[in-house]
Structures are given as structure tokens and as C-alpha cells.
Amino acid sequence: SQTIHQWPATLVQPVGSPLSLECTVEGTSNPNLYWYRQAAGRGLQLLFYSVGIGQISSEVPQNLSASRPQDRQFILSSKKLLLSDSGFYLCAWSNRGQGLYNEQFFGPGTRLTVL
């Protein structure tokens, strides 16, 4: 069966510090991968998605970047965190080749607080 891991679960960082959040998927190959941010426990904002190694699409201009160094690894980074980067970060994956059906499977999330 497939599983998705995110770490750390919680993180408190000072403004201006770097960030690295990691997401890995097990039990599948060639997944589509996604990073979302959920601010104040509400709506989801898609930040990045990837259809393959080294292929990253950015949805919104921001202080963050994403990389996919391996097929099942997706990393969210920042060189200098802002207060507005605080939120709940969710990683998700979906299968390719399912036509227009795109069920996404979510990780447990990382709670980031920037002070």
C-alpha cells in the first residue's frame, strides 16, 4: 500500500531563517506531487506541483521554492522565512495515467510557526 510522510510535524523558526520541509511517498512510482499551504486552518492554496523529477510548476509568486531530487521526494524550501510563511503545509500525491480522475492523497502536514 502507498504511504506519504512529511517531516517535521511541527516547526518554530525565526524570521529570516532558512526552511526545508520534506515529503516522501512510498509504494508507488512516478506520482504527481503537490505542496499546499493552509493558513488559519481554512482554505487550501496550491503552491507547487510536479509531474516528474526536476519538473516543478509554481502556482503563486512567493518566498518559497520546491525541488524534486528523486521520484518520490518533494522538498519545500525558503532561504529567508517571513512571518507570512506561517501555516499548515500539506504534501499530496496522485497517480498519473488515470485520465481526468485525480484523487489526491495527503500527508499528515507540517505546522510551521514563524516568529
Partner 1 sequence: GEDVEQSLFLSVREGDSSVINCTYTDSSSTYLYWYKQEPGAGLQLLTYIFSNMDMKQDQRLTVLLNKKDKHLSLRIADTQTGDSAIYFCARGGGATNKLIFGTGTLLAVQP
The residue among 31, 11, 1, 15 whose CA lies nearest residue 76 is 11
Question: Closest distance between partner 1 and the C-beta of residue 79, in Å?
Answer: 26
What residues have CB less than 8 Å from 85, skipping those under 6 apart?
19, 63, 64, 78, 112, 114
Sites for partner 1 among residues 24-43 (CB under 8 A): 32, 34, 41-43
The residue among 68, 72, 114, 56 whose CA lies nearest residue 89 is 114
Is residue 94 close enough to count as binding partner 1 by CB under 8 A? yes
Cis peptide before 18 (omega within 30 of 0): no
Is residue 108 close enough to count as binding partner 1 by CB under 8 A? yes
Is residue 49 close enough to count as binding partner 1 by CB under 8 A? yes
From 13-21, 68-76, 77-85, 98-106, give the range in contact with partner 1 by CB under 8 A. Answer: 98-106
Give the nearer residue to partner 1 in terms of CB position, either 76 or 92. Answer: 92
18, containing H or E segment:
none
Give the binding site for partner 1 (CB under 8 A).
Answer: 32, 34, 41-44, 46, 49, 51, 90, 92, 94, 96, 99-109, 111
